[in-house]
């Protein structure tokens, strides 16, 4: 949102620079205007009054407020030389208006009136073409009849700006101000879908949804900001737009604080967030202006989150330094760009913040996944070993017209011998299995691991592993038998055993 405030010197310089660059004519807009309230006696609504009478007074343009009343105002501006490009009067703010140029009616924006039921709401951003035949070199006078009876709130600065410039759509300049924010908008929308998909597919806990919610709140707030430069709307809708922006700021701040509290394992997080909301609500209510409220709704939770992180840093040294640095930069940017922060800078910073938190959460999720896989493998091995000990699974061995059964749990290792496999039991007894070692690997449980092209060993009986300088090695089993380990399999075997 673009505001004209006495403190916003940067904006005044920017506005004058835009006017000087975009216009062929050189003129100086009035910083003060003559204002007359319509009272039905000295000042009427049907034609411009005599602004020199005592019921009229000078007033700063930025403090103009037609809310709940009907006002005449006169704005004077200087034209050094008339150019070829047509000029227009631009009005941005909560207002219905009727415009005169040097006493000649130029047009209407809605229908201003003394009563709300008689007023037709005008557009938030309006443009009036100023006919060249009514414009003179030197001083020109613009008279405006303004009213603003509709809307949800009474704003501290309902009129944002009034100036003369080259004729164009009133939303063009607003869109030029906001178009750089389209890049973080895309990042935030894509971040929302990515984070939501990851949380859904991986069945992550409820706190993992805070990041996609934060991304969507920031994207919604940015869309509410940019919509003013895309779609013209009547001024009562501006209050709804401001409320959406404020609610998104509040929601983002609370989600951010909740995310930080969860990352440092604070107990009863909901109570901490509830107490923070109870303390912050009066401050937000007391601060004037929706811009200030929206910025404060972000600053307070960031400051609170930094406090929690600094306390947690004592027991988790260095773990949250990156997030602390980001939050410190966030507060610094607010201090350096207090009036422009909520317009554009905030969204770049939020996009960066969400991206980095997303990467941090992805790393943590990957670590958890690897830990779960390791535990699952360990559990699987334990279960198989127990099954091997408790089960009576047998292998059928046929030789010399005789059929025998070998208990799998009693096998120490298997050694390939051509078309046969030697089944070596714990007691050293050897029986021949008719088949290949590869075929036998498919029949035995996974506790039997390959150590050599010709050996399959019961890993539950491994006592130690010895490795020679050449890279080959030997496994020593609990019955003191040594089994060779090939150089090719050695790295994989060491990983499995670790």
pLDDT in tens, 91-137: 999 999 999 998 899 999 999 999 989 999 999 999 998 888 888 87
Supply the range of the domain harboring residue 59: 9-168
Q: What number of other Cβ atoms are within 10 A of residue 211's Cβ?
A: 26
233 and 129 share one domain: no
Last residue of a domain, one of 148, 168, 188: 168
Distance CA 142, CA 105 (A): 10
**Quick check: is 383 in a domain?**
no
Average pLDDT estimate for 26-34: 64
CATH code for position 437: 2.40.50.1020
The helix/strand/coil state of 203 is coil
The Cβ-side half-sphere exposure at 96, using a 13 Å CA radius, reads 22
Helices (H) and strands (E) in the chain, counts: 11, 19
Question: Using 50, 70 and 90 to split pLDDT, how confident is the model at 175?
Answer: low
Name 123's Cβ contacts closer than 8 Å, sequence gap at least 6. 109, 110, 170, 232, 233, 234, 235
193 and 273 share one domain: yes
**What are the backbone angles phi and psi of residue 396, rounded to the nearest 5°?**
-90, 125
219 and 99 share one domain: no
359 and 462 share one domain: no
Q: Report the percentage of the chain scoring pLDDT > 70.
A: 83
**Quick check: is 22 in a domain?**
yes
**Quick check: is 381 in a domain?**
no
Q: What is the pLDDT of residue 243?
A: 94
Last residue of a domain, one of 168, 196, 219: 168
335 and 219 share one domain: yes
CB 103 within 8 A of CB 184: no
Q: Which helix (H) or strand (E) holds 335?
A: helix 321-336
Is the pLDDT assigned to residue 3 strictly greater than 60?
Answer: no
157 and 187 share one domain: no
DSSP 355: H
CB 166 within 8 A of CB 85: yes
**Quick check: is 336 in a domain?**
yes
Q: What is the pLDDT of residue 392?
A: 45
pLDDT in tens, 182-222: 777 887 888 788 878 877 877 777 777 888 888 899 889 88
361 and 400 share one domain: no
400 and 361 share one domain: no
Whether the full predicted model's pTM is greater than 0.85, yes or no, is no
Question: Cα–Cα distances in Å, from 158 out to 29, 67, 142?
Answer: 19, 8, 20
Is the pLDDT assigned to residue 22 strictly greater than 50?
Answer: no
Question: Which of 177-191, 353-367, 399-413 is most confident?
Answer: 399-413
358 and 288 share one domain: yes
Question: Using 50, 70 and 90 to split pLDDT, how confident is the model at 402?
Answer: confident
Q: What is the pLDDT of residue 7?
A: 38
Q: Which helix (H) or strand (E) holds 50?
A: none
342 and 468 share one domain: no
202 and 81 share one domain: no
**Quick check: is 384 in a domain?**
no
Last residue of a domain, one of 335, 370, 405: 370
**Quick check: is 388 in a domain?**
no
Domain count of the chain? 3
165-169, 226-230, 310-314, 486-490 — which is least confidently predicted? 165-169
- Mean pLDDT, the chain, whole residue set: 80
CB 429 within 8 A of CB 410: no
**Quick check: is 243 in a domain?**
yes
164 and 213 share one domain: no
Question: Using 50, 70 and 90 to split pLDDT, how confident is the model at 25?
Answer: very low
């Amino acid at each position: 949102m673009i505001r004209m405030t006495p403190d916003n010197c940067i904006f005044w310089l920017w506005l004058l620079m835009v006017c000087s660059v975009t216009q062929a004519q050189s003129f100086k807009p009035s910083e003060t205007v003559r204002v007359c309230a319509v009272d039905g006696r000295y000042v009427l609504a049907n034609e411009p009054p005599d602004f020199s009478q005592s019921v009229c007074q000078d007033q700063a343009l930025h403090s103009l407020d037609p809310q709940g009343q009907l006002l005449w105002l006169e704005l004077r501006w200087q034209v050094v030389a008339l150019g070829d490009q047509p000029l227009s009067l631009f009005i941005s703010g909560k207002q219905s208006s009727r415009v005169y140029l040097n006493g000649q009616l130029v047009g209407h924006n809605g229908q201003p009136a003394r009563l709300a039921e008689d007023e037709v709401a005008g557009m938030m951003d309006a443009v009036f073409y100023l006919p060249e035949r009514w414009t003179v070199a030197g001083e020109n006078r613009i008279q405006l009849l303004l009213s603003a009876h509709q809307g949800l709130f009474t704003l501290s600065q309902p009129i944002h700006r009034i100036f003369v410039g080259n004729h164009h759509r009133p939303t063009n300049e607003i869109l030029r101000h906001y178009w750089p924010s389209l890049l973080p908008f895309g990042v935030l929308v894509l971040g929302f879908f990515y984070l939501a998909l990851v949380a859904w597919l991986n069945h992550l806990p409820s706190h993992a949804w805070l990041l996609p919610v934060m991304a969507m709140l920031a994207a919604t707030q940015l869309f509410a900001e940019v919509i003013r430069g895309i779609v013209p709307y009547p001024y009562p809708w501006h209050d709804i737009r401001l409320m959406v922006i404020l609610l998104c700021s509040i929601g983002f701040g609370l989600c951010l604080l909740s995310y930080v509290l969860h990352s440092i394992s604070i107990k009863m997080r909901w109570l901490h967030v509830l107490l923070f909301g109870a303390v912050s609500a009066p401050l937000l209510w007391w601060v004037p202006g929706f811009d200030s409220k929206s910025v404060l709704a972000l600053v307070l939770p960031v400051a609170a989150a930094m406090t929690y992180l600094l306390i947690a840093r004592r027991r988790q040294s260095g773990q949250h330094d990156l997030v602390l640095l980001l939050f410190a930069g966030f507060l610094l940017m607010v201090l350096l760009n207090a009036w422009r922060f909520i317009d554009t800078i905030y969204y770049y910073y939020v996009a960066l913040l969400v991206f980095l938190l997303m990467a941090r959460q992805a790393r943590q999720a990957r670590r958890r996944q690897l830990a779960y896989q390791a535990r699952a493998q360990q559990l699987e091995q334990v279960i198989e070993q127990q099954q091997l000990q408790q089960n009576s699974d047998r292998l059928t061995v046929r030789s010399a017209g005789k059929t025998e059964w070998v208990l799998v749990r009693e096998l120490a290792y298997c050694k390939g011998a051509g078309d046969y496999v030697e089944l070596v039991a714990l007691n050293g007894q050897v029986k021949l299995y008719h088949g290949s070692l590869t075929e036998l690997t498919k029949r035995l449980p996974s506790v039997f691991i390959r150590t050599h092209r010709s050996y399959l060993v019961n890993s539950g009986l491994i006592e130690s592993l010895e490795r020679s300088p050449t890279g080959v090695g030997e496994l020593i089993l609990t019955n003191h038998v040594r089994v060779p380990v090939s150089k090719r399999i050695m790295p994989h075997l060491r990983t499995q055993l670790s």
